Amino acid sequence: MSFIRRNKDEITDFDYIIVGAGSAGCVIARRLIDGTEASVLLLEAGGTDEGIASIANPSQWVENIGAAHDWNYTYSPSPHTDDRSIFLSRGKVLGGSGSTNALIWLRGNRTDFDDWAQAGNPGWDYDSVLPLFKRSEDWEDGASDYRGSSGPLHIERAKNLHPVATALIDHFRSTGSGREPAGPPDSGRLMFRREASLTRAQ
């Protein structure tokens, strides 16, 4: 089990205890540490991601599947999959699945957010969450109506694509299905996160 502490002093009482150091848990811990004087305990069942090549190098992401830092979940067999049990990789490491997903930055579909709001969850509509996405981003092309430019996560297009990937993207664009991700991400367009300028809490 891994711990992130505000300082190296022995602390036995905490204002906040966050269980799970995945993407959400890390963001909450960082906001509390940066914005308050509260003591925060962040618990993670897995270990650190330091020294794990398949996390540090996105091109090796497939090596995370079934590794020691994977929860190794599987879906129940389903008639829709010919009664097969499909593997569900989830990160058991600081950063959670955000550390093992090849550094892909993917926004959800606009209609999903709007549907959540219409189902009785105010503040979850796309227009309400868009400023939060923008605040977290440092998009390589700079700020726009849909992208941020001064956030802690540097976002850029994937580089040095495999020829098959390039051919697929070219095909989608030729059918009118693909757009540059700097445009409205209404359909969950993909981008890659190259690096995060966040510093680790000590």
How confident is the prediction along the chain (202 residues), in pLDDT tens digits per residue? Answer: 444 454 556 777 899 999 999 988 988 998 898 888 899 999 999 999 999 999 988 888 899 999 999 999 999 999 999 999 999 999 999 999 989 988 788 778 889 999 999 999 999 999 999 999 898 889 999 999 988 998 888 888 877 778 888 888 788 778 776 555 444 555 544 444 444 433 333 3
In this structure, the answer to whether residues 31 and 120 fall within a common structural domain is: no
Read off the DSSP letter of residue 139.
E
In this structure, the answer to whether residues 29 and 95 fall within a common structural domain is: no
pLDDT score for 151 = 86
pLDDT score for 176 = 73
Read off the DSSP letter of residue 109.
P
Alpha helices in 16-62 (DSSP H): 23-35, 53-56
In this structure, the answer to whether residues 95 and 65 fall within a common structural domain is: yes
In this structure, the answer to whether residues 86 and 41 fall within a common structural domain is: no
Q: How many structural domains is the chain composed of? A: 3
pLDDT score for 158 = 77
Task: For residue 193, count other CB atoms closer than 10 A to its CB.
Answer: 19
Task: Using DSSP, state whether 42 is helix, strand or coil.
Answer: strand
In this structure, the answer to whether residues 120 and 199 fall within a common structural domain is: yes
In this structure, the answer to whether residues 67 and 122 fall within a common structural domain is: no
